[in-house]
Structure 1
Amino acid sequence: MITVPIAVLGLLLAAMGFSAWKAHAIEQEFPNHGELLDVGGYSMNSLHLPAGSDADLPPIVFVHGAGGNLRDQETAFRPSLEGRAELLFLDRPGHGYSERGGDQNGFPDGQADAIARLLEARGIDRAIIVGHSFGGAVVASFGLRHPDKTLGLVFLAPATHPWPGGVDWYYELAAQPYIGWLFTRTILVPAGLMRLDQATKSVFDPNPRPSEYLTHGAPALAVRPRNFRNNAIDVFNLNGYAKRIAPEYSRIKAPTVIISGNRDGVVAEEIHSVGLSLDIEGSELVWIDQCGHKPDYVATEVAVAAIEKIAGRDRNLDAVAATLDVRTAKAD
């Protein structure tokens, strides 16, 4: 007779084997199309697109949000901006195909420093830095810590300020030592894949998720055990970090635009976007009516106009936003 402990061990080993196999299958489906560069003892992955011969904008760097990778922002912005500027789409440390590095990369300031070193490795002196969601916290830290490399900042539905409450239970569990490691290598992968379709729809809600987002944005990469655990640590650490750092945002002097949907169900726009607009003197807050947490996709033209405005063009962002015909999803 098989004893209960041996049976449990067998189930755990089977779950770990399935998770490892599935993570490899995801990587086969979505292989790395960036380039790994050393940023001080570990490598960061990025996709670098040189400026065209008739480029009219300065370099632009894109920082993805929680559970994302460089393909997310590449899919949103490459069609509009390729050739117009030197573009850098990156995997934050521990995400996509970037290595994690040290414990400092569990916080936005460590990731901002890593991005600064990546810019140096790419030969980019100064750039407009664009960040979505959690990437907004990294961009804010970049503006604080590396003003010499910052031409301007664009925040898209940012998560930058402390909020009441905590994080989802699965993030809290995955972030824990030992048990988090086991959770992400057994239960998480099959459960995460089953929820991926609905979870990505929820991020876009109330707007429809683009039909090819699951393939072009490759969100399945975030379900791999190591990536999910790194993401969970990032999210778990963010509130405490924001409590320490948000009072410093008033020191940011770079030209700043904040673009936020007024129906964001992921982050509280009245805390984060409004907070940033109050903290950063001279910043401009642009509201997108009927938009959820993905203005990078729903209001791409407003974000591009914001980049152009920071680059010195005459752009009325509220007028551009007013021309949008934002679609909302029909109930299933």
Structure 2
Amino acid sequence: MSETANPEIGRSVPVAGRATNYLEAGAGAPVLLLHGSGPGVTAYANWRLTLPALAVHFRAIAPDAAGFGYTQRLPGDAYGLDLWVDHIAGFLDALGIGRTHVIGNSFGGALAVALADRHPDRVDRLVLMGSAAVDFPMTPGLDAVWGYEPSEENMAAIMDWFAHDRTLITPEIVRSRYQASIRPGYHESYAAMFPAPRQRHLNALLTPPERIARLPHRALIVHGRDDRVIPLEASVRLHHLLAASDLHVFGNCGHWTQIEKTGAFNRLVTDFLLDQGDGA
């Protein structure tokens, strides 16, 4: 497949000197989708099944975060919450978007909460999926994901942590994600983000609970009951902290909510974002 035919490569916009790759579909109120932090991840890998559904009603936009995917890596990048949130805010500026709904998956959920905390007027509604925004002990699953060393065998083991339904872990998916993880510069930036001991990197993604509790945004919190990467208890805690939140738990579902429960997830999120009831 040529680079020009690669569905992971969409449009590009400069953000503070960083060419930022993003996918866009649909028209209407903007919805920003923030991906997770798995090895070789891109916006497309996380959101390929979600973007078409949201595009029916919204302008759905999914960037590759700094240090991930096809967004430009800059010499001297110091990866951390400040860089990631500043990059997202700058990305919205570059696209002329003042306010947007935000959907965050795992690591992306932590970024979504931090964006809402630091730039509350830029965020409309929040959808938080298996989010790493509150304190919890490092899980073996997350430690394995962040400690990934490139090989097809290791990628297969990582995929096994993500999915409850093991039939989703096909040799083709494993091979594709492995190849993505070894593109030039990819593993170098990934390894620089979360070196051991890794609890400190998880803690560095957190927004203080007292600040989360002050967020006024309506939020939909989604989690797979059988998630072995981010514990369900993290979303339960977020639900208690966020006054204007609903919590939906999918049974027989791991960390890949948007992939394992695609249809139900897309309907749930669309209905939440379109709802004009009290508190809208």
TM-score normalised according to structure 1 size: 0.70
Cα distance in 1, alignment partners of residues 68 and 252 from structure 2: 30
Q: Is the 8 A contact 1:109 1:138 kept in 2?
A: no
Q: Is the 8 A contact 1:154 1:303 kept in 2?
A: no
What does residue 222 of structure 1 align with? 181
Q: Does 1:34 find its partner at 2:39?
A: no
* Of 93, 111, 118, the match for 1:120: 93
Distance 1:308 1:232, change over 3 A: farther
* Contact kept? 1:72, 1:216, Cα under 8 Å: no
Is the 1:47–1:89 contact (alpha carbons within 8 Å) kept by the matching residues of 2?
yes
Residue of 130, 138, 149 corresponding to 2:103 = 130
Q: Which secondary structure state, in structure 1, belongs to the residue aligned with residue 67 of structure 2?
A: coil
Name the structure where strand makes up a greater proportion of residues. 2
- 2:204 aligns to what? 241
Give the direction of change, closer, same or farther, for the CA distance of 1:206–1:144 in structure 2 (3 Å limit): same
Aligned partner of 1:163 in structure 2 is: 136
Alignment partners' CA distance in 1, 2:166 and 2:178: 18
Provide the residue aligned with 1:282 in structure 2: 244
- Name whichever of 90-99 and 219-228 sits farther off: 219-228
Find the partner of 1:252 among 208, 215, 223. Answer: 215
State percent identity of aligned pairs.
23
Please identify the structure whose Cα radius of gyration is greater. 1
Query: Given the superposition, is the C-alpha separation of residues 114 and 170 from structure 1 closer, same or farther in structure 2, using an over 3 Å criterion?
Result: closer
- When residues 107 and 79 of structure 1 are mapped into structure 2, their CA distance, relative to the original with a 3 A threshold, is same
Structure 2 residue identity aligned to 1:45: N
Partner residue in 2 for 1:110: 83
Output aligned runs, 1:13-162, within 5 Å: 30=6, 33-51=9-27, 58-67=29-38, 68-101=41-74, 106-162=79-135
Q: Partner residue of 1:3?
A: none
Shift in alpha-carbon separation, 1:216–1:74, aligned structure 2, 3 A: farther
Q: RMSD in angstroms over aligned alpha carbons?
A: 3.3
Alignment of structure 1 residues 284-323 onto 2, 5 Å: 284-300=246-262, 301-313=264-276
Distance 1:305 1:284 in 2: 11
Residue matched to 2:231? 268
Map Cα deviations across residues 59-90 of structure 1 (whole Å, 9 max, x no partner): 11111101221112331202322232111111
Number of residue pairs the alignment of both structures matches: 269
